[in-house]
Amino acid sequence: MAKRVAVLLSGCGVYDGTEIHEASATLVHLSRAGAKVKMFAPNTEQMHVVNHCEGKPVEGKRNVLQESARIARGDVTDLAKLDVKDFDALIIPGGFGVAKNLSDWAVKGKDYTVQPQVEKVIKAFRQAGKPLAMCCISPVLAAKALPGCEITVGQDKECEKWPYAQTAGVMKDMGCTHVNKNVGEAHVDVKNKLVTTSAFMCNAAFHEVFDGIGVMVSELLKLA
């Protein structure tokens, strides 16, 4: 029987929403595996809007659900309507939308909170014994919602290839176990049924990120 997977989006575009290539890779690998996918996003206002040519905020307001519809080709549902019993697993791709719209990590750093609706969904999947997968910056959601979990955001020593490695240190300070992994690998927290991979936390080629997300999806479906 085909696995039913919910995919949680956070807008559209790396600087203020979902990282589009990570979302696309997730959807391609799920499709190839024969999974049935339904996409969700919170019906809330984005933290801000970013000009992606300049990487700078601009005037204006955008809705996370409406922006996520760009990735979902219009077929996206309000996160408030997600019922855990209808799905076998949950995936959350990365992008700054995770740090701005699904949480306030981008503003508060280690003192961040997860958007209540998002935290509720993550905990509900965990309590139901159903697996979760998160890539790029998304594992910070698990660090808060599932205290003491095992995750990877790649490597814990900052360099040109790993510019966001300090995130691993924050996760450790929060009581999580961070496992160093290369971009083509994923880590499986067996206890929490949580699969994570670094994706664009690494300055890697597109195909390497695509392949790493493929490993994440494969490991997730084994647990579903």
Q: Which residues are catalytic?
A: 136
> For tokens 């490993």, what's the residue?
215
| Cβ 103 vs Cβ 83: under 8 Å | no
Query: Strand locations in 9-116, DSSP E?
Result: 36-41, 49-51, 56-58, 76-78, 89-92
In angstroms, rounded to a whole number, what is the distance separating the alpha carbons of residues 57 and 122? 29
How far is residue 148 CA from its own chain's centroid?
18
| Joined tokens for residue 170 | 């924050």
Residue positions counted in the chain? 224
In angstroms, rounded to a whole number, what is the distance separating the alpha carbons of residues 153 and 13? 20
DSSP state string for 147-173: TT-EE--S-SS--SS-TTTHHHHHHHH
CB-count burial class (<10 Å; 0-12, 13-18, 19+) for 59? exposed
In angstroms, rounded to a whole number, what is the distance separating the alpha carbons of residues 119 and 175? 18
